[in-house]
C-alpha cells in the first residue's frame, strides 16, 4: 500500500522529509471573562504536507495537476455538465444522462448514431479516460487514452490502437480542435465495434490537460472508485492516514534537481504540496 494515494493514484512522498500533520480546530478553545477555560470545539481537521522528491518534468506536471484538481470529470449521474459545470457544445442523436446501472452510479446512454462534443480546448498533451460497455453486456471496460500512446485497456498499457474506443481522434491520433467528442457509430468498423447496433453506456469520463504517467495506468484501473470525491476533491488513502479522508490539494514551492539515469543527466524538479481535509 502506498503512503498516500489520490483517487487510487499513488502520490510520491519524500520519506526523508516526512509528512506533516497540521491540525485545525473547528470551534474555539479559550478562556471566558471569568478565567474559566471553555471549549466549543466540534472536531479537528488535518492538513497533510509533504514533498514529492525528484520527478521528471512530465511527471511533475501531471502530479501538480492531479493535486490541484485541474481538468474535468463527468459522472453523468444527473446532468451532462462536468464537475466544473462545463456543458457540452453539441450533441447529435439521443444522448441521455442519469441512466441507472452505471459503473458507479448513473451513467450516460448514447443511441447508435449519436455523439457528444465537449469544448475542452485541449492542447497537444492530454489524457481522456472513461468506463464503457454496450447495453446488455455484463462487464465494463476502462479505456485510458493518452496523447502519443495507444489506448490502455483495463490496466494493460498501450494495448489498443488510438482510433478504437468511443473517443473521436484524427488520423494522427489527435483530438480535432482540442475538443473531446464521444460517438456510438454502430456496426463492425472502427470505434468500439457494435455489430448489434445497441446503445453505448459511458461512466466516469475524465479529461486532463496533461499526459498521465505510465505508472498511473494500473492503479487507476484497480482503484475501484470514481475519479474525485467529487473532483477537484480526492479520496485520499494510504498507510500514512488513519482512515481514508476527502481532501482538497494545493501545490507549493518547487526546486530544480538533477540526477543520473541510464548514463545521462536528467533535470527535473521536486515540489511541496498540502492536502486539506474537507
Q: Kindly report, residue by residue over 30-81, the tens digit of the pLDDT.
A: 777 787 887 777 788 999 999 999 999 999 999 999 999 999 999 999 999 9
Asked which of 182, 197, 222 is the last residue of a domain, the reply is 222
Residue 215 sits in the same domain as residue 166 = yes
What are the CB-based long-range contacts (under 8 Å, 24+) for 26-31? none
Any idea what DSSP says for residue 175?
Answer: P
Residue 80 sits in the same domain as residue 23 = no
Residue 48 sits in the same domain as residue 140 = no
Any idea what DSSP says for residue 33?
Answer: T
Examine residue 200 and state whether it is found in any structural domain, yes or no. Answer: yes
CA distances from 111 to 88, 106, 117, 224 (A): 17, 16, 15, 27
Residue 117 sits in the same domain as residue 212 = yes
Q: Name the average pLDDT for the chain.
A: 93
pLDDT at 149: 96
Query: Residue 197 is inside which H or E element, if any?
Result: none
Examine residue 29 and state whether it is found in any structural domain, yes or no. Answer: yes
Q: For residue 29, what are the domain limits?
A: 5-67+232-277
Examine residue 210 and state whether it is found in any structural domain, yes or no. Answer: yes
pLDDT at 254: 94
Q: For 119-164, how does the pLDDT look when each residue is reduced to its tens digit (9 = 90+)?
A: 999 999 999 999 999 999 999 999 999 999 999 999 999 999 998 9
Q: How many domains does the chain have?
A: 2
What percent of the chain is modeled with pLDDT above 90?
A: 81
Residue 193's pLDDT band, with cuts at 50, 70 and 90, is confident
Q: Which of 94-98, 189-193, 248-252 has the lowest mean pLDDT?
A: 189-193
Residue 76 sits in the same domain as residue 208 = yes
Residue 125 sits in the same domain as residue 238 = no
pLDDT at 222 over 80: yes
Residue 180 sits in the same domain as residue 167 = yes
Residue 102 sits in the same domain as residue 183 = yes
Compute and round to an integer the Cα radius of gyration of the chain. Answer: 21
- Cβ atoms of residues 181 and 115 within 8 Å: yes
Residue 75 sits in the same domain as residue 151 = yes
- Cβ atoms of residues 47 and 24 within 8 Å: yes
Residue 4's pLDDT band, with cuts at 50, 70 and 90, is very high
pLDDT at 25: 81
Q: For 103-122, how does the pLDDT look when each residue is reduced to its tens digit (9 = 90+)?
A: 999 999 999 999 999 999 99
Residue 169 sits in the same domain as residue 267 = no
- Cβ atoms of residues 270 and 256 within 8 Å: no
Residues 14 and 230: their CA atoms lie apart, in Å, by: 27
Asked which of 185, 204, 222 is the last residue of a domain, the reply is 222
Phi, psi of 178 (to 5 degrees): 75, 5
pLDDT at 190 over 70: no
Residue 80 sits in the same domain as residue 218 = yes
pLDDT at 192: 86
Handedness of CA 145, 151, 156, 157 (dihedral sign): negative
Q: Is the peptide bond before 230 cis (omega within 30 degrees of 0)?
A: yes
Examine residue 227 and state whether it is found in any structural domain, yes or no. Answer: no
Q: pTM for this structure? A: 0.92
Amino acid at each position: 500500500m502506498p503512503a498516500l494515494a489520490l483517487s487510487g493514484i499513488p502520490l510520491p512522498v519524500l520519506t526523508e522529509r516526512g509528512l506533516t500533520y497540521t491540525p485545525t480546530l473547528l470551534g474555539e478553545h479559550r478562556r471566558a471573562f471569568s478565567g474559566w477555560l471553555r471549549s466549543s470545539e466540534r472536531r479537528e481537521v488535518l492538513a497533510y504536507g509533504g514533498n514529492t522528491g525528484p520527478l521528471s518534468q512530465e511527471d511533475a506536471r501531471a502530479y501538480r495537476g492531479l493535486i490541484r484538481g485541474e481538468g474535468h470529470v463527468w459522472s453523468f449521474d444527473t446532468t451532462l455538465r462536468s464537475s466544473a459545470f462545463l456543458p457540452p457544445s453539441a450533441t447529435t442523436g439521443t444522448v441521455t444522462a442519469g441512466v441507472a446501472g452505471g459503473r458507479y452510479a448513473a451513467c450516460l446512454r448514447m443511441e447508435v448514431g449519436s455523439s457528444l462534443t465537449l469544448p475542452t480546448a485541449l492542447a497537444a498533451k492530454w489524457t481522456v479516460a472513461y468506463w464503457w460497455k454496450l447495453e446488455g453486456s455484463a462487464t465494463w471496460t476502462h479505456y485510458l487514452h493518452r496523447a502519443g500512446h495507444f489506448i490502455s485497456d483495463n490496466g494493460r498499457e498501450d494495448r489498443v490502437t488510438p482510433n478504437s474506443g468511443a473517443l473521436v481522434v484524427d488520423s494522427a491520433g489527435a483530438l480535432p480542435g482540442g475538443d473531446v467528442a464521444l460517438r456510438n457509430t454502430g456496426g463492425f468498423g472502427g470505434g468500439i465495434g457494435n455489430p448489434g447496433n445497441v446503445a453505448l453506456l459511458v461512466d466516469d469520463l475524465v479529461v486532463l490537460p496533461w499526459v498521465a504517467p505510465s505508472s498511473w495506468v494500473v492503479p487507476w484501473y484497480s482503484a475501484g472508485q470514481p475519479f474525485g470525491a467529487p473532483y477537484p476533491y480526492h479520496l485520499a488513502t494510504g498507510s500514512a492516514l488513519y482512515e481514508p479522508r476527502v481532501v482538497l490539494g494545493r501545490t507549493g514551492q518547487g526546486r530544480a534537481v538533477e540526477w543520473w539515469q541510464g548514463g545521462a543527466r536528467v533535470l527535473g524538479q521536486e515540489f511541496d504540496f498540502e492536502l486539506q481535509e474537507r
